[in-house]
Amino acid sequence: MQRSISSLCLLIALLLIVGGAVADEPHAGPPLKVQSRDIQLKKMAPSNKPAKSESGKKRIVFIAGRPSHGYSEHEHRAGCLLLAECLKKAFPNVETVVYRNGWPRDRKALDGADAIVIFSDGSKSHPMLRHLGQVEKLMKRGVGLACIHYAVTVPKKKGGEQMKDWIGGYYEAFWSVNPFWTAEFAEFPDHPAARGLKPFSIEDEWYYHMRFIDGMKGVTPILTAVPPDSTREGLDGPSSGNPTVRSEKGKAEHVAWARVRPDGGRGFGFTGGHWHWSWANDNFRKAVLNGIAWVAKLEIPPDGVPSKTPTYEELRLNQDKPEPAGFDREKVRKKIRQWK
């Protein structure tokens, strides 16, 4: 009965619209008569594909978290702007937009997105937590999701299961750890997100011992390294260590990974990114650009996503915090030169 009433209301509205359109049209002769016959209402099934952007280009939306930490640390906005610019230069068919200070207030910000990139603080401060329902709908439509550094961290009871499904794994308190260490990456899988990568090493806050989906279903590790045993010796705590971590000395750990969801959607997790200067490392930067391009379902070139190495002066741009007095610029420049 309720469905019949709803259908009748819709029919009346349609007749009023048609009648109004006819009434506004000048004409000669007797009054026009509007008739309808055998009108059928059909409920359209929701599309499982992302809506196309108005330009017809692939649309990648970056969500940069609020300022946090010190100078050149967790530079969410500056990092997103750099990555977005690299992607636009590498792919003529890509448009990017960067929202700062967390989840965008514009309710239409994610309309037409092919991929979402979140670079922000995590845990209870993760900007996605209050919008899990919205993200769930986007994931079911096949939108890609990439999370960088702290953004791979969500509470176990709010977001944990979703993150395992959407990107394949996440940082779980009292299970994962977040030490600073120099990771050495020597081998890479036969996967588009690993194209063009060459052996490299770099010091960063590499989280490891992730909580992955059972059986690593649909997950391909992209960056894997063996952490120093000293990083496993922390006492029990939400991030410092636990008995399982301490018992696995010498074990290789995955710090970047890609997942294909059962519906074909894609996810990417990358645990590095504490230091803003790390983006000057060509392989470090390429791994993330490849991952973002892959979740957006772009065709990645055989040598990976190309990008120009940013200079020290370029990396200083757009940072949230001013350079502190006495900052050793030459030390950073030297590190960048060593990576080339």
pLDDT at 28 over 80: no
Residues 144 and 224 in one domain: yes
Residues 104 and 36 in one domain: no
Do the domain assignments include residue 321? no
Do the domain assignments include residue 245? yes
Residues 104 and 9 in one domain: no
H-state helical runs in the chain: 2-23, 76-90, 132-140, 161-166, 243-246, 282-295, 312-315, 329-339
> Structurally, how many domains does the chain consist of?
2
Residues 20 and 74 in one domain: no
Residue 44, token pair as written in the block: 């359209």
Separation between Cα atoms, residue 19 and residue 25, nearest integer Å = 10
CATH at residue 76: 3.40.50.880
Residue type, 221: P
Do the domain assignments include residue 78? yes
Higher local confidence (pLDDT), 6 or 198: 198
Candidates 216, 220, 226, 211; CA nearest to 256 is 220
Do the domain assignments include residue 146? yes
Span 258-287, average pLDDT: 97
Candidates 107, 112, 71, 70; CA nearest to 95 is 112
* pLDDT digits 0-9 by tens, 125-178: 999 999 999 999 999 999 999 999 999 999 999 999 999 999 999 999 999 999
Do the domain assignments include residue 320? no
Residues 31 and 178 in one domain: no
Residues 164 and 276 in one domain: yes
3-state secondary structure of 319: coil
Do the domain assignments include residue 52? no
* pLDDT digits 0-9 by tens, 253-272: 999 999 999 999 999 999 99
Residues 6 and 66 in one domain: no
* pLDDT digits 0-9 by tens, 214-248: 999 999 999 999 999 999 999 999 999 999 999 99
Judge contact between 219 and 213, C-beta under 8 A: yes
Do the domain assignments include residue 143? yes
Cα–Cα distances (Å) from 101 to 68, 108, 303, in that order, read: 10, 17, 34
Q: pTM value?
A: 0.84
Residues 37 and 123 in one domain: no
Residues 9 and 79 in one domain: no
Do the domain assignments include residue 284? yes
- Domain enclosing residue 12, as ranges: 1-43
Residues 33 and 115 in one domain: no
Residue 131, token pair as written in the block: 């919008």
Residues 201 and 178 in one domain: yes
Residue 34: per-residue pLDDT: 43
Residues 154 and 300 in one domain: yes
